[in-house]
């Protein structure tokens, strides 16, 4: 059974979930069923595998409820030979699976194109063996992390000392696996019930060459890869357009595909006149009147660019290689090409940010609106959340971000700029899930349906600090660190991170170099 921790309309829009499902469904030795929070395929009488695809931190705490509903013990240590192997994957789990690790038997770190076949083959080779033997076999598959075979150790003061294998024959570091093929993914399910109805999604690029220092999509998925135009993109588009006339081109930096102009020219042909084409966020410097013209011709009304901040200084801090002039040019080109709106993404609470930097974002939006009359501007703005496996993983959430969201609203809303702020409170919970270790698992189990409220999280965390929660079976560990230490503190370089035993595309030493390049010495944590 392959689960998604949200409704069908949301889950079936996830390209990652679709690809995992299709990969399993194409195997003759696997009969896969889908499970969403609001519906499921007809269930087997017996489940051998229970999988979860996780792309967003706030979806993770749904897992215990999904397991309980299937009558599967929520703690991996409580499962018997008759219970299914519970596995998971996706960017959140690849970056830092530790808060959810006690619920999983296995976590797949990296790209499913490589991992899933090796994972299933390994299980099939020992299908009748006792659970402990199957888990040992899985631990030998590159990129497969079996949390029960790795034990956290703590300093006397309760801080994390290490996460080490329980036997010397196990690898001390598990490395993320990277698919390096030139054919990426595309939709296998097209339905009017999806959050984006009747759309055929095609992955144009994977990762991003820009390496913004907060960005999980850049650092976690390196290296930057682009699908082959003739052998990958065009056949994938043709296949989808046989079923629908709506096409979505996906990727963190779609327009940086080396042949993107050729793809646009191909989509400009008369045969696609009844096709609606949309693209995900594009790099501002690549916006041209021709891009805007073709997208307008193909039914798009707006374009989305990420600016992160209106302050040139802040863009340098985060390694956003983008000038104010290029942002103005993108707006001008969008209007010239016939688009009606420009959506910009930004952040508040970035390291070293001041009120002046936030005002620079408001100033930029107001100047854009004045200089590009007739173009509708929308600013989506979130609070900086430190992500594991990025250079800013050592930086904490800044409480002043909450006031800065309100500061932007006060300046922009009266002037006709639509502001779409993400909740500061839920950014705090994202950080809690992003930076915690296994000691958060009892909190996740205890919060239950109260996970929908900030009060529920704080109450469960206080109970954990006071030793009032049911402990994890088979685990003796100190209480979790103070709430503020996990969420707001800037961590020393010498601190053992919860994910220190998991290796992504770039070493921790190299990530720290990128961190120190960004920040002046007086804004760095010691170490």
Report the CATH number that the domain containing residue 424 is assigned in CATH: 3.30.750.200
> Would residue 450 count as lying in a domain?
no
* Domain total in the chain: 3
- Interatomic CA distance for residues 11 and 9, integer angstroms: 6
Q: Tell me: pLDDT of 377 over 90.
A: yes
Residue 352 in domain: yes
DSSP structure class, residue 44: P
- Torsion on CA atoms 464, 467, 471, 474, rounded to nearest 10: 120
3-class secondary structure, 318? coil
* Average pLDDT of span 126-131: 95
φ, ψ for residue 363 (rounded to 5)?
-60, -45
Query: Are 87 and 210 in a shared domain?
Result: no
Same domain, 517 and 369: yes
Given a cut of 60, whether residue 124 has pLDDT beyond it is yes
Flag the least confident range among 53-57, 58-62, 85-89, 236-240. Answer: 53-57
Whether 24 shows a pLDDT value over 70: the answer reads: yes
Give the model's pLDDT for residue 524: 57
Neighbours of 40 (CB within 10 A): 15
- Is residue 86 domain-shared with residue 128, that is, in the same domain? yes
The verdict on 271 and 311 lying in the same domain is no
The domain boundary, picked from 280, 314, 347, lies at 280
Q: Is residue 474 part of a domain?
A: no
Token pair 């976690």: residue: 220
* Residue 445 maps to a domain: no
Q: Is the dihedral of CA 287, 293, 294, 300 positive or negative?
A: positive
Average pLDDT, integer, range 502-514: 94
User: Which pTM does this prediction carry?
Assistant: 0.95
How much is the pLDDT for 475? 74
Distance CA 23, CA 399 (A): 43
Q: What is the pLDDT of residue 522?
A: 64
The proportion of the chain whose per-residue pLDDT surpasses 90, expressed as a percent, equals: 92
Q: What is the largest CA-CA distance in the chain?
A: 71
307-357, pLDDT tens digit by residue? 999 999 999 999 999 999 999 999 999 999 999 999 999 999 999 999 999
Residue 45: is it exposed, middle or buried by C-beta count within 10 angstroms (0-12/13-18/19+)? Answer: exposed
Specify whether the backbone of 389 is left (phi greater than 0), alpha (psi in -120 to 50) or beta.
Answer: left
Q: Torsions phi, psi of 137, nearest 5?
A: -65, -40
Which pLDDT band, with edges at 50, 70 and 90, does 234 fall under?
very high
Would the pLDDT of 526 be above 80? Answer: no
Q: Which residues pair with 177 in a beta bridge?
A: 110
Q: Identify the H or E element spanning 418.
A: strand 418-421
Do residues 317 and 384 share a domain?
Answer: yes
Question: Is 373 part of a structural domain of the chain?
Answer: yes
**Minimal CA–CA distance to 348: which of 338, 356, 358?**
358
DSSP-based three-state secondary structure for 347? strand
Distances (CA, A) of 498 to 90, 466, 503: 18, 22, 12
Q: How distant, in Å, are the alpha carbons of 20, 27, 36, 207, 215 from that of 88? A: 11, 19, 15, 21, 22
Cβ atoms of residues 142 and 177 within 8 Å: yes
In whole angstroms, what is the distance from residue 373 CA to residue 331 CA? Answer: 10
pLDDT of 474 strictly over 90: no
Average pLDDT, the chain: 95
Same domain, 367 and 513: yes
Q: Which pLDDT score is estimated for 525?
A: 56
- The confidence band for 523, taking pLDDT boundaries of 50, 70 and 90, is low
Residues 171 and 210 occupy one common structural domain: no
Dig out the tokens for 11 from the structure: 């889950």
**Cα 44 to Cα 50: distance, rounded to the nearest angstrom:** 12
pLDDT tops 90 at residue 293: yes
Q: Which CATH number does the domain housing residue 258 bear?
A: 3.30.750
The domain boundary residue, chosen from 115, 143, 175: 175
Q: What is the CA 459 to chain-centroid distance, rounded?
A: 27
Same domain? 276 vs 324: no
- For 480, residues 6+ apart whose C-beta sits below 8 A from its C-beta are 436, 437, 439, 440, 443, 461, 464, 465, 486
pLDDT reported for residue 520: 76
Is 286 inside any structural domain?
A: no
Domain that residue 265 falls in: 180-280
In a domain, 319, yes or no: yes
Please say whether the beta carbons of 204 and 227 come within 8 A: yes
Say if residue 463's pLDDT is above 60: yes
**Rounded percentage of the chain residues whose pLDDT exceeds 70:** 99
User: Is the pLDDT reported for residue 394 higher than 70?
Assistant: yes
Give pairs for 462-469: CB < 8 Å, separation 24+: 464/439, 469/442, 469/443, 469/445
Over residues 427-437, the mean pLDDT reads 97
Measuring CA to CA, which residue among 30, 43, 34 is closest to residue 10?
Answer: 34
Pairing label, strands 106-108, 144-145: antiparallel
Query: What per-residue confidence (pLDDT) applies to 46?
Result: 87
pLDDT at 259: 95
Q: Judging by beta carbons within 10 Å of its beta carbon (0-12, 13-18, 19+), is residue 389 exposed, middle or buried? A: buried
> Phi and psi at residue 381, in whole multiples of 5°?
-135, 135
Q: Are residues 18 and 66 in the same domain?
A: yes
Quick one: 516 and 367 in the same domain? yes
Four-CA torsion 121, 123, 129, 135, nearest 10 degrees: 130
Query: Residue 263: is its pLDDT beyond 70?
Result: yes
pLDDT at res. 43: 82
Same domain for 171 and 187, yes or no, is no
Considering the domain architecture, whether residues 171 and 199 belong to the same structural domain is answered as no
Structure tokens that stand for 491 in this block = 């961590």
**Is residue 296 in a domain?**
no
């Amino acid at each position: 059974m392959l689960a998604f921790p949200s409704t069908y309309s949301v889950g079936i829009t996830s390209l990652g979930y679709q690809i995992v499902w299709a990969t399993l469904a194409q195997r003759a030795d696997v009969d896969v069923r889908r499970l969403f929070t609001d519906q499921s395929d007809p269930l087997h009488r017996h489940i051998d595998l229970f999988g979860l695809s996780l792309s967003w931190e706030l979806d993770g705490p749904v897992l215990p409820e999904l397991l309980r509903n299937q009558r599967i013990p929520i703690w991996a240590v409580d499962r018997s030979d008759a219970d299914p192997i519970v596995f998971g994957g996706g960017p959140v789990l690849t970056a830092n699976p530790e808060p959810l690790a006690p619920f999983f038997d296995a976590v797949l770190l990296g790209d499913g194109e490589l991992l899933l076949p090796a994972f299933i083959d390994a299980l099939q080779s020992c299908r009748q063996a006792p659970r402990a033997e199957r888990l040992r076999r899985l631990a030998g598959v590159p990129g497969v992390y079996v949390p029960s075979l790795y034990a956290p150790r703590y300093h006397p003061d309760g801080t994390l000392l290490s996460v080490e294998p329980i036997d010397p024959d196990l690898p001390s570091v598990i490395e993320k696996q990277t698919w390096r093929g030139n054919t990426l993914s595309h939709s296998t399910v097209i339905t009017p019930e999806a959050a984006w109805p009747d759309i055929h999604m095609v992955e144009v690029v994977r990762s991003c060459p820009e390496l913004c220092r907060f960005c999980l999509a850049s650092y976690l998925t390196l290296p930057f890869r682009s699908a082959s135009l003739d052998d990958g993109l065009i056949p994938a588009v043709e296949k989808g357009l046989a079923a629908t006339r709506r096409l979505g081109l996906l990727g963190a930096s779609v327009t940086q595909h080396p042949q993107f102009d050729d793809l646009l020219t191909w989509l400009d042909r008369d045969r696609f006149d009844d096709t609606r084409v949309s693209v995900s966020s594009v790099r501002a410097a690549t916006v041209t009147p021709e891009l805007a013209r073709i997208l307008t011709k193909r039914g798009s009304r707006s374009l989305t660019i990420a600016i992160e901040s209106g302050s040139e200084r802040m863009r340098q801090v985060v390694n956003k290689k983008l000038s104010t002039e290029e942002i103005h040019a993108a707006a001008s080109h969008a209007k010239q090409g016939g688009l009606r709106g420009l959506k910009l993404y930004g952040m508040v609470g970035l390291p070293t940010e001041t009120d002046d930097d936030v005002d620079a974002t408001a100033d930029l939006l107001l100047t854009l609106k004045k200089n590009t009359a007739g173009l509708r501007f929308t600013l989506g703005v979130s609070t900086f959340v430190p992500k594991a496996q990025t250079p800013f993983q050592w930086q904490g959430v800044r409480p002043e971000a909450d006031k800065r969201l309100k500061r932007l609203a006060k300046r922009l809303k009266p002037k006709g700029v639509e502001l779409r702020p993400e909740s500061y409170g839920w950014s705090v919970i994202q950080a809690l899930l992003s930076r915690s270790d296994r000691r958060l698992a009892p909190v996740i189990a205890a919060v239950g349906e109260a996970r929908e409220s900030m009060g529920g999280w704080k109450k469960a965390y206080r109970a954990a600090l006071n030793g009032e929660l049911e402990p994890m079976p088979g685990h003796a560990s100190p209480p979790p660190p103070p709430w503020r230490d996990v969420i707001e503190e800037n961590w020393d370089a010498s601190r053992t991170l919860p994910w220190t035993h998991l290796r992504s595309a770039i070493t921790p030493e190299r990530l720290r170099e990128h961190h120190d390049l960004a920040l002046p010495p007086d804004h760095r944590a010691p170490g």
